Amino acid sequence: MSALAAVLALAALAADAPYHATKKDFSAVQEGIRTYRKVQDELWPGAGDVEVALYDARDVFLYSHRADYPLPKSGAWRGFTIYRVPHGEKLTKDDLRGCGGSKPFVDRALSKATSRDAYFTCVPLGAFVAFQKRRKEGTVYDTRESYLATFVHERAHVYQRNSPNAPDVVHAMADFLDEGSIPPSSDRGQSVLAEAYAQWCELKAAEKLFPKHYGRLKAWYKPEAEGDHDIGLGLALRALKGAGGTR
Ligand SMILES: [Zn+2]
């Protein structure tokens, strides 16, 4: 094998190697938590921290304020205990794509400790950006600041799920219903409204903390797109505009 072929073979191996969270990825999680904390008094008054479950190709790393879970501990950070549990799932690099709600394999790994309503999941920053950059349809989630803004989005989903009757949530939902013809009783309507709320929170945070991501999100919106996130983004943008962007 020539030297060049050897280098190329190594590069191909590295590209397919299972992704394991790095020091940089953990510091991005911690910055993500700090990010949602900056807006939580405004967006979710009275709500505290939630748990964050970072997963890579091998493990789930749970950041929790509870120190008494019967799970192996791997560290601590500012009042959080970090637990590390192998999830036993075979994940390819395309499975490590984003952040969201609970996942069956994460739930199984954490079942002795916490409940699916208490946490949101996220992949490491490095895997997140790499996946987004591979998306052929383009994305605005290919930067560190979009990853941090996603922590606000996911924190918002947990809040809306657990406090659907909080006055701010009820108020925001009424605004979204004014802005579009959404049948709120259908599953699809519920999902679109939940995305509108999370996007609304993400936009409010981005406007303040990440002006570049805010501008990209606004420019990204395509009225013809039909995904729940897309329709939700449109409703959130219209509701913010209707309120003069200052509510
Ligand atoms: Zn969402």
Domain boundaries of the chain, sorted by first residue: 18-137, 164-242
How far is ligand 1, taken at its centre, from the CA of residue 6, in Å?
Answer: 42
* Rounded (to 5) percent helix, strand, coil in the chain: 55, 10, 35
Contacts of 247 (CB under 8 A, 6+ apart): 240
Contacts of 153 (CB under 8 A, 6+ apart): 99, 198, 199, 201, 202
pLDDT in tens, 168-223: 999 999 898 888 777 777 888 889 999 999 999 999 999 999 999 999 999 999 88
How far is ligand 1, taken at its centre, from the CA of residue 8, in Å?
Answer: 38
Q: Based on DSSP, count helices (H) and strands (E) in the chain, helices before strands.
A: 9, 6
How far is ligand 1, taken at its centre, from the CA of residue 197, in Å?
Answer: 8
Is the pLDDT at 246 greater than 50? The verdict is no
Q: 146 falls in which pLDDT band (50, 70, 90)?
A: very high
How far is ligand 1, taken at its centre, from the CA of residue 207, in Å?
Answer: 18
Residues with Cβ–ion distance below 5 A, ligand 1: 195, 198
Percent of the chain with pLDDT over 70: 91
Distances (CA, A) of 244 to 113, 184, 200, 233, 237: 44, 25, 13, 16, 11
Highest mean pLDDT among 78-92, 128-142, 173-187, 216-230: 78-92
Is the pLDDT at 244 greater than 60? The verdict is no
How far is ligand 1, taken at its centre, from the CA of residue 231, in Å?
Answer: 11
